[in-house]
Amino acid sequence: YKYNNNGELIGEGLRSYFNKSTAQRTKYKGYKGNDLPWDGTFEAFEKNNPNGVEIGINDTVVKQYDEFHSYCQNNGIKVIMVFTPIYSPALKYMRDSNRIMTLFNSYAAKYDVPLLNYLDDPICREKKYFYNSQHMNIHGAELFSAKLANDLKPIVQNFAQAADTTRRQ
């Protein structure tokens, strides 16, 4: 949905997934872990924003997000919302994080979709899993990916069971 107006990027993503990419072949199905050390940008952000910042909620994006969920619901597309880990000290600098989470919780309830929130996961408290406050390094990404796959398994099984039940009726 995010790339709906960028056919070239969509095509490259599909080619990459099927190992037919024309781009540099350093990714596996679109993934390339970054084995990078902590870059220090968070410390600079802290220094420049001692009172934090408001991320903000863009009304146009909210409308598009609502349209996305409506589209998926109307077309039988299952959605799972995921908040991936970020380095937990960064959260205290996001003054409107509660407002943003409230919005996403409301979408999860409105459209009856699972919301997996990893913002309080133990990974978030370990700088060694990040190369900056918002992005995991290869070690964090692989640890989180295994955890996410494990958490997705019962949700996907429930989706499949519900689909089987619907087909039988």
- For the stretch 67-117, pLDDT in tens is 999 999 999 899 999 999 999 999 999 999 999 999 999 999 999 999 999
The answer on pLDDT for 155 being more than 80 is: yes
Closest CA to 112 of 157, 147, 154, 155: 155
Say what the pTM is. Answer: 0.77
Pairwise CA distance, residues 97 & 84, whole Å: 14
Mean pLDDT of the chain: 88
pLDDT attached to residue 25? 53
The answer on pLDDT for 21 being more than 60 is: yes
Q: How many C-alpha atoms does 30 have within 13 Å on its Cβ side? A: 9
23 versus 61: which is more confidently predicted? Answer: 61
**Strand, coil or helix: what is 131?**
strand
